[in-house]
Structure 1
């Protein structure tokens, strides 16, 4: 009975944790998609570095090199960002599983009763206990 109560109590916590994990994963996955779109845009921009840009670059050769360098730096930064987001997603998933298991293990209760088959034995009571008398009513009346 004690383990069943513990399991029921932890079900709510586990569901809450899973909801939080799901939200975080969705946020990270959205950031990864955005980063992928930005990387695609950068690659397209690099490929479209066309005649207009080349005409401007002919007037100032350093401009072409600067523009290409800037595009390459943006691509590199976005690639690193995507890699970090993927790693973050993996760590969120891993650490969440570990936390759920640790919480379930740490919050579970174990109650061991003695060999006596009489009297009242309560492992955990989260509410009032009423209507219980110990011994016979004769002793209570004598006092």
Structure 2
């Protein structure tokens, strides 16, 4: 994929997603007496906003090093995040339709603060997972860039190992969340409609969890692709750092060094 095409493609979906997130954030902030369930969601929105800003800062060369699959999957995760925020904004407007002057009526407060806790929690978890996934993309891009610019040091090898472990942990967590979401989606589909719940609310709740399921699945693919890239980078770095054996003369005397990151002193060159 052409570098300019990569940048345009990523910015093309990231910018509208950031805009949508900020609109949702404004909607929540306008509710002066918002319940805690909505207040906690504001922090998640701010976090994903920062993650997307970091994603926009990834350079063309870094995207190239990550590969086309990572680019495509990053776009998919970002697009799903936007769609979920759009859906949540529409749902929030329905939940607060009995309120005036942005102050929740008792009926709407009960709807948002109690009846819709599961919906809000699903949204919160999705935002958190998107943030972790996109942050992993940025960290991996930075790591690839560092490896291309200079020889891997011992400190960098530690960083590579840590990034491998972090992504592997994220994949494990994603698998657990996928199992939970699959169970939740099945329960929602067979559950009876709650009191004061419209058909639109029910459909929206099912769609929200379905999107969460999709995002988790796409995030897992993206994380797996990143882990594969880290494995390759680590293998190349370890190969480059392999010790070199040197023989000195017929007596095989002297010092032999493959890779040394410390100071060497007290050496005399010449015959004994």
Q: Same fold (TM over 0.5)?
A: yes
Larger-gyration structure (1/2): 1
Partners of 1:83 and 1:77 lie apart in 2 by: 10
Q: What runs of 5+ residues in structure 2 fail to find an aligned partner?
A: 1-153, 250-254, 258-263
Alpha-carbon spacing, 1:57–1:99, altered in 2? closer, same or farther (3 Å): farther
Partners of 2:256 and 2:180 lie apart in 1 by: 63
**Alignment pair present for 1:74 and 2:230:** no
Structure 1, residues 65-93: CA drift from partner, whole Å, max 9, x if none? 10111011101111111111111111111
**Alignment pair present for 1:87 and 2:236:** no
TM-score w.r.t. length of structure 1: 0.56
Q: Which has the higher contact order (CA 8 A, sep 6+)?
A: 1
Instruction: Give the CA RMSD over aligned residues.
Output: 3.8
Alpha-carbon spacing, 1:57–1:81, altered in 2? closer, same or farther (3 Å): farther
Q: Give the count of matched residue pairs.
A: 106
Aligned mate of 1:101, from 220, 239, 258: 239
Partners of 1:95 and 1:30 lie apart in 2 by: 19
What is the Cα deviation at residue 63 of structure 1?
Answer: 1.1
Q: What runs of 5+ residues in structure 1 fail to find an aligned partner?
A: 1-12, 114-121, 134-143
1:99-138 to structure 2, matched below 5 A, reads 99-104=237-242, 126-129=264-267
Partners of 1:129 and 1:37 lie apart in 2 by: 57
Partners of 2:208 and 2:167 lie apart in 1 by: 26
TM-score w.r.t. length of structure 2: 0.32
The answer (yes or no) to whether the contact 1:56–1:63 under 8 Å persists in 2 is no
What is the Cα deviation at residue 56 of structure 1?
Answer: 2.5
Divergent runs of 4+, >4 A: 19-22, 108-113
